[in-house]
Amino acid sequence: MATQTKRATVYFDPNLHKALRLKSVETSRSVSELVNEAVKKAFVEDAEDLLAFDERAKEPLISYDEMVKRLKKDGRI
């Protein structure tokens, strides 16, 4: 069964577009495939980030000054 797709117009920086076209030729994949894959990866990363935020939501907040003190105490700065 064929997947339904939607058409969209996207404007790329000329250098980015050139790189996409070159990668398309070198990988025998369409620009659409490459863009779809990149967008999916970005969404996966966003979902992972949101999950991490949810997991850490109950952690106590500390001030910037306190964080700097901890880093100094641990010898990280």
Tens digit of each residue's pLDDT (9 = 90 or more) over 18-52 = 999 999 999 999 999 999 999 999 999 999 999 99
Judge whether 53 lies within some domain: yes
Structure confidence at residue 3 (pLDDT): 77
**Chain mean position to CA 42:** 4
Radius of gyration of the chain, Cα coordinates, nearest whole angstrom: 21
At CB < 8 A and 24+ separation, what contacts does 7-13 make?
10/35
Q: What is the DSSP letter of 59?
A: S
Kindly report whether the global pTM for this prediction surpasses the value 0.75. no
Give the type of residue at 10.
V
Q: For residues 17 and 14, give the distance between their C-alpha atoms in angstroms, rounded to a whole number.
A: 5
Judge whether 5 lies within some domain: no
Which of 1, 5, 76 lies closest to 39, judged by CA?
Answer: 5
Judge whether 2 lies within some domain: no
Per the structure, the complete domain to which residue 21 belongs is given by: 14-73
Judge whether 45 lies within some domain: yes
